[in-house]
Amino acid sequence: MTLFTLKYQPQNEQQLFGQQKAVGELKDFITNYKTKKSRAALLYGPIGVGKTSSVYALAKQLDYDLLEINSSDLRNKDKMETFLGSALGQQSLFFRPKLILIDEIDNLSGVKDRGCIPALIKAIENSSFPVILTANDPFDSKFKMLRKTCQNIEYHKLQYRTIAHALQWVCEQENIQTEEKAINSLARQVDGDLRGALIDLQSSLAKKSFVFADITTLSDRKRTDTILNALTIIFKSSNVENALSAFEDVDLKLNEIFLWLDNNLPHEYVKAKDLAKAYEFVARADVFNGRIRRQQHWRFLVYIYNLLTAGVSSAKSERNTNFVQYKPTMRLLRIWQSNIKNAKKKDIAGKLAGKTHVSKKQALEQVLYLKNIFSNGGGEKIASELELSDDEINWLKK
């Protein structure tokens, strides 16, 4: 089943809901680019309000070739200069006008990616084609010079009436019977995120109707709601292309995504062959993740997400029709509990390592001998020498 977010992706400016002013400014920037002082446009605003969609819609409407670059693929100065130098100076196929879209510049950290933003500004100044950047929050100090280089176009949070209108229109196209109360409730609940509203609408449809009772299965949109939607798309989708973008708006660190998949895969993929194949994709993704940590090869990030989304989705021989409640891993809680339990031991080992000039690993092994000494009534001089607290002394005496 094709996702509504793809099936009803806007094809022209008339199909873009609630952003007429911003879209008008963007269209003017593209069509009158040669007369503009700014060589790039920066589209900013909350997620799910139409920034990227409007670029695609106008490119199609105006018959432009569109080259999209995700900023996470260009995580150092050399790659930024090489890629953009080629992309911004090269004529498009058949000499059609060209648009360059650099999506989600928020991904540039400003520390690890030092040099990227100056390289980006320099490339933009020499561009022969309109450059469009998108960001959720461009007001970080690291983007100060970039904002000055660009024409800033704000995309505001969509009103609930606009979202309700869009949802109603989609339901009409799908011949879905709706209750006005249900549509309005969902529109209010997503807090201006039209893309999220379409995902929630589709995920709650068990039949060709959408009533208020269906809303009760949808909680407020939080971080875990987003990951649950993403897992549903990956595990239940019959088309791997639908799964590719599942993690785009998931506000979780990559390591946490690994843990969510690891914890829920055995419950979703009940066939041993399917599960083994899925874990093979996860393992390959983890290999690339290790290379990023060791060698800072951020170009591997796209491979990781492809393996965790389309790879895991393609591993199943058939979709599991049973309802599976996805849950967060308890591993982090157990690690935290273990750290709390061993905190005093590590603190004591740290003091012992400092005084005896050994590694902390060796000192940890010696703590057992200290416990024997203190539990048998000794250790006063040791406590004084190591400057142990009362809590640490009591811990050693137990």
In 4-65, alpha helices (H): 4-7, 20-31, 51-61
Residues 124 and 116: beta-carbon distance below 8 Å: no
Task: Report the C-alpha gap between 195 and 189 in whole angstroms.
Answer: 13
Task: Report the C-alpha gap between 285 and 234 in whole angstroms.
Answer: 15
CA angle 386, 387, 390 (to 5 degrees): 120
What the chain holds in terms of domains, given with CATH numbers, is 4-154 (3.40.50.300), 159-220 (1.10.8.60), 222-329 (1.20.272), 342-397 (no CATH)
In 3D space, the residue among 354, 361, 365, 357 whose CA is nearest the CA of residue 387 turns out to be: 354
Bridge partner list, 70: 103
Residues 218 and 200: beta-carbon distance below 8 Å: yes
- CB-count exposure of residue 323 (10 Å: 0-12, 13-18, 19+): exposed
Task: Report the C-alpha gap between 39 and 47 in whole angstroms.
Answer: 24
Per-residue confidence (pLDDT) for residue 88, from 0 to 100: 58
Task: Report the C-alpha gap between 42 and 105 in whole angstroms.
Answer: 10
How far lies 131's CA from each of 30, 38, 161, 188, in Å?
Answer: 9, 10, 32, 34
Residue pLDDT tens, the chain, 398 long: 577 888 888 999 988 888 999 999 999 999 999 898 888 999 998 888 899 999 999 999 999 988 877 655 555 556 566 666 655 555 555 567 888 888 878 766 554 455 678 878 887 887 778 899 998 878 877 788 888 889 999 999 888 889 999 999 999 988 888 888 888 888 888 878 888 888 888 877 766 788 877 776 554 444 444 788 888 889 987 777 778 888 877 878 888 899 999 999 999 999 999 999 999 999 999 999 988 888 877 778 889 999 999 999 999 988 887 778 888 777 765 666 676 667 888 888 888 888 889 898 888 888 888 888 888 888 888 888 888 888 888 888 87
150-154 β-sheet, strand order = 65-70, 98-103, 131-135, 40-44, 150-154
